[in-house]
Amino acid sequence: MSDPYARAPTANPGRADLLDPGSLAKLGDMELIARRVVEGFLLGLHRSPHRGFSAEFAELHAYRPGDDLRYIDWRMFGRSNRYYVKRFQEETNLRAYLLLDLSGSMDWSSNPGELPTKSWYASHLAAALAHTLIRQGDQVGLVAFDEEIRHHVRPRGGPRQLRELLLTLTSAESGGRTAAEGALREAALRLRRRGLVILLSDLLLEAEPTRQALHFLRHRGHEVIVLHLLDPGERDLPSGGDVRFFDPETGDEMGVNVPDVRSEYRSAVNEAVAEWRGALRPHGIEYGVIGTEQPLASALRRYLQKRQRLG
C-alpha cells in the first residue's frame, strides 16, 4: 500500500466528498477514495469560513471570555473577522475508536449496481474518518463486530497506523448477526483516557442493551457519536404490489402487499429514529441519520461539529 499522505491523482479534479456513493465507488480502492474524500472536504472548509477552517480547527478554538489574549491567532482574525485562540498539541490530541457494524443486514443495497451496500458506505466512511483524525495528530483505533469482535486495532497515530486501519477495513466482511453492546463495552474498557467513540451501524440490533452500553460510555466520560446508516429503500418501501422481504441475518422471509403497509411502515421507521434520538441526545450522545445515497461529506460534517465542541 502506498503512502497514505501522498497526493491523490488529478485525473478527476472534482471534489470526491460531494460525489454520490455510486460515483465514488468507481474511483478506485479504499485508500484512494478516503484520501480524495478528505482532501475535498478540507478544501471545502478552507473556502467557506462559516463552516470551519480545515486542519487548523485542531489547533484553534473560538475565543471565549477568560481565554489568554496572548494566544489569539491574528492571522485567522484577518481571514475570518472572528477571534480564535491557539491551542498546544498536547491539548488537542485525543484517542478515538471507530466501531464498525459487520452484521449481515449491513451487506444490503436497495439498488445493487447503482447504490453501494451499507457495509461499503460504513467502511469507506470509517476510512475517511481515520484519515481525518490521524491527519490532525489524533490516535485512532478500530473495533469491527457482528455478534463477536472480528477485528481490533488498538489506537495509535501516524501514517503506519493509517495503513493498518485501511488494510483492516479493506479485509473486513459483513455476514453475522449483530450484538453491538459487547463491542461498545470493549471500547470503554480499552479507552482508559477519555476519548471519542464513533459507532457506524444500521442499528438493526437489540436496542436496549446497545443504548445502555452507549450510556455507559458517556458515564465513563467519553464523547460518543452514533451515525445511523439508512439505505433509501429502508426509509420507504419500493413501488409495486406483492413483494417478499428477506432477513439476511436469520433467513426469514415474509410476503407483503406494499400499498397496504406503506404508510404504516413509514410511520414505524420515523418512530424508530425518534426513539433512538430521544434515548441518546439527552445523555449528550451525538446522533444522526445518514442516508447511504448521501455524499460522505454529510457524515464528516457531523464529526467536525462534535470535534469542534470538544475544544
CATH code (residue 131): 3.40.50.410
Q: Which residue has the cell 447503482?
A: 114
In a domain, 207, yes or no: yes
| Count of H-run helices and E-run strands, the chain | 11, 10
What is residue 2's predicted lDDT score, i.e. its pLDDT?
A: 47
The count of structural domains within the chain is 2
pLDDT of residue 68: 66
Residues 80 and 114 in one domain: no
Based on the domain organization, do 174 and 140 belong to the same domain? yes
What pLDDT does residue 48 have?
47
pLDDT on residue 115: 95
Q: What is the spatial distance between Cα 175 and Cα 118, in angstroms, rounded to a whole number?
A: 12
Q: Residue 219 domain-assigned? A: yes
Same domain, 266 and 194: yes
Q: Quick one: 53 and 180 in the same domain?
A: no
Please provide the average confidence, as pLDDT, over all residues in the chain.
81
Ranges 66-75, 84-93, 113-122, 282-291: which has the least confidence: 84-93
Cell of residue 295, nine digits: 455524499
| 199 is a domain residue | yes
Tell me which of 34, 64, 92 is where a domain ends. Answer: 92
Q: Tell me the residue range of the domain where 64 lies.
A: 48-92
Average of per-residue pLDDT across 254-278: 80
Up-side HSE of residue 285: CA atoms within 13 Å toward CB?
26
What does the alpha-carbon distance between residue 146 and residue 170 come to, in Å, rounded to a whole number? 16
Do 52 and 160 have their domain in common?
no
Strands, E, within the chain: which ranges?
60-62, 84-86, 95-101, 139-145, 149-156, 196-201, 223-230, 242-246, 253-257, 286-291
The answer to whether residue 39 is domain-embedded is no
Query: What pLDDT digit, counting tens, does each position of 198-222 carry?
Result: 999 999 988 999 999 999 999 888 9
Q: Is residue 225 part of a domain?
A: yes
Tell me how many degrees the CA angle 200-141-109 measures, rounded to the nearest 5.
25
27, 55, 143, 171, 259 from 180: Cα distances, Å: 31, 32, 10, 20, 34
Q: Tell whether 62 and 99 lie within a shared domain.
A: no
Residues 97 and 73 in one domain: no
- Percent pLDDT > 70 in the chain is 77
Residue 73 CB contacts under 8 Å (≥ 6 apart), including other chains? 60, 84, 85, 86
**Residue 252 confidence (pLDDT):** 62
**pTM score, whole prediction:** 0.78
Using the predicted structure, report yes or no on whether residue 88 has a pLDDT greater than 60.
no
Q: Is residue 8 part of a domain?
A: no
The answer to whether residues 166 and 226 belong to one domain is yes
Q: Select from 32, 62, 92 the last residue of a domain.
A: 92
Label residue 281 by pLDDT band (50, 70, 90). very high
269 and 290 assigned to the same domain: yes
Secondary-structure percent of the chain, ordered helix, strand, coil, rounded to 5: 45, 20, 35
The three three-digit cell numbers of residue 95, written as one number: 484517542
pLDDT tens column, 106-129 = 999 989 999 999 999 999 999 999
Q: Confirm whether 65 is domain-assigned.
A: yes
Indicate whether 1 belongs to any domain.
no
Confidence of residue 61 (pLDDT cuts 50, 70, 90): low
Task: For residues 143-157, give the mean pLDDT.
Answer: 90
